[in-house]
Structure 1
């Protein structure tokens, strides 16, 4: 069985990653931390075991900011692109917007947390 490899990175290309499947916990989140981290009302995440993610760009691993007692938000120190979160648990959560291709079915969210924090007008009809 082939193992899928996903690649992506920041806006300027200094931070690049490769992550190998399986994809864990594909989900959306609209909590205030995710909103402030991304500047968007909803963040779309997928998680990988830490050993499945390699930082391959010229700048190496992303910069991080301790955002909670269990996680650090990851971003490019050069262009400021949000890339994900590196948890103290052996988990790396990557934002789907940072992937080179986000069309693979395994990346499709299966849950949405904190959707009660969205404005009522969020779903445009």
Structure 2
């Protein structure tokens, strides 16, 4: 039996998952579809082969909404939590915020897509905080 690498789920706990693989393609994205899917200006994603993800909660697999010609967005039908995307390719992309523990190295984003979709004020608070004396 393969070792469980990651666990996570939705806000109410109905949708739960386990993975038996390290995360692939850790990245953030600020495209309009990700913004609307998550309600956030950026989404943090990781990908897994479908065969490495098991839906273990009492709710079974998440509900889906067909969002493009190649993918469906996944969410919990009970609490509405966004879980990720289930692609037509044998890939499941999960949002890092759904994981029980987010400190694993394979969850650290290594790229950012659609940076031009970020608002111009995106870094103001960060820059102001860095300019403040300790």
TM-score, structure 2 as length reference: 0.90
The residue that corresponds to 1:37 in the other structure is 37
CA gap of 1:28–1:93, structure 2 versus 1, over 3 A, is same
Q: Which residue of 2 aligns with 1:76?
A: 76
Q: Report the CA distance between 1:3 and its aligned residue.
A: 5.1
Cα distance in 2, alignment partners of residues 13 and 23 from structure 1: 22
How do residues 5-84 of structure 1 correspond to structure 2 at under 5 angstroms?
5-84=5-84
Matched residue SS, 2:121: helix
Question: What are the ranges of 5 or more consecutive residues in structure 1 without an aligned counterpart?
Answer: none
Q: Is the 8 A contact 2:4 2:18 kept in 1?
A: no
Q: What secondary structure sits across from 1:120 in the alignment?
A: coil
Shift of 1:106: 1.1
Give the aligned partner of residue 130 of structure 2. none
Q: Distance in 1 between matches of 2:37 and 2:23?
A: 22
Name the stretch that deviates more: 94-103 or 2-11: 2-11
8 Å CA contact 2:84, 2:93 repeated in 1: yes
Contact 2:5 2:22 in 1 (8 A): no
Which has more strand, going by share of residues? 1
**Is 1:98 matched up with 2:98?**
yes
How many residue pairs end up in the alignment?
124
SS at match of 2:7: strand
* Higher Cα Rg, which structure: 2
Cα RMSD (Å): 1.1
d(CA) in 1 for partners of 2:9, 2:30? 22
1:18-43 C-alpha deviation (Å, 9 max, x unpaired): 01222110000000000000000000
